[in-house]
Amino acid sequence: QKEVEQNSGPLSVPEGAIASLNCTYSDRVSQSFFWYRQYSGKSPELIMSIYSNGDKEDGRFTAQLNKASQYVSLLIRDSQPSDSATYLCAVRVGGGSEKLVFGKGTKLTVNP
Amino acid sequence: DVKVTQSSRYLVKRTGEKVFLECVQDMDHENMFWYRQDPGLGLRLIYFSYDVKMKEKGDIPEGYSVSREKKERFSLILESASTNQTSMYLCASSDNRDRVYFGAGTRLSVL
């Protein structure tokens, strides 16, 4: 099993809708979880980090973590065309490791 | 602002050449990483370094080596370039185990 798995996508939503992106991970001792956004031809940029079970909100973005289910998600409310990008889930694996593993990414398109 | 600078945006090399990809960060970060990104395969970790002269293998180290002689510089070396190493290479750095900053990437073509 791959360490970090995401919906293969692509995901297409209308402007103003909620986009839901999902990620599962295999390493039970992982403590740090991240969502990156990557526009076409650009480098990934961090948009959310989450460390504790539950929800973390930042503007239109909400990250959700469930360590028991080894599941992390990203919700984007009131989706805008400018949110169209590939979203990468990343997990810092292992208890004391610096190793950051990425999922393959989900491509999101928000249609005007 | 943190800056991670990769020496080249585009490189074209011949099979069998020794290739050096250079990366410099300006924020005194402890950790530096090299990833490659391929369509359908996502970002895959090649090597990372958590201190000067310290390195650890990532998921796909075969065919690559790294060097970190100074804290700010992390080099990726392709000892004998092959066509299957044609890819986008991304360097990154981090300090507080939270935000990872990426360089602009080097698109390498091996002919």
DSSP state at residue A81: G
The tens digit of pLDDT for each residue in B1-46 reads 768 999 999 999 999 999 999 999 998 998 999 999 998 888 999 9
Three-class SS state of A78: coil
User: Which among B40, B99, B103 has the least Cβ separation from residue A43?
Assistant: B103
Residue written as tokens 């999101």? Answer: A108
Taking the CA of residue A8 and the nearest CA in chain B, the distance in Å comes to 9
B43 contacts in A (CB within 8 Å)? 44, 88, 102, 105
A31 contacts in B (CB within 8 Å)? none
Mean pLDDT of A62-86: 96
Mean pLDDT of A94-107: 80
A92 contacts in B (CB within 8 Å)? 97
From the list A20, A25, A31, the residue with the least C-alpha distance to A4 is: A25
- Burial class, A13, CB count within 10 angstroms (exposed 0-12 / middle 13-18 / buried 19+): middle
Beta strands B10-13; A106-111: pairing state = unpaired
Cα dihedral sign, B22-A96-A50-A27: positive
The tens digit of pLDDT for each residue in A6-45 reads 987 899 999 999 999 999 999 888 888 999 999 998 999 9
Alpha carbon distance B109, B85 (integer Å): 8
Q: Are A81 and A112 in contact (CB under 8 A)?
A: yes
Provide CB contacts within 8 A for A102, sequence distance 6+. Answer: A4, A36, A88, A89, A90, B35, B42, B43, B44, B45
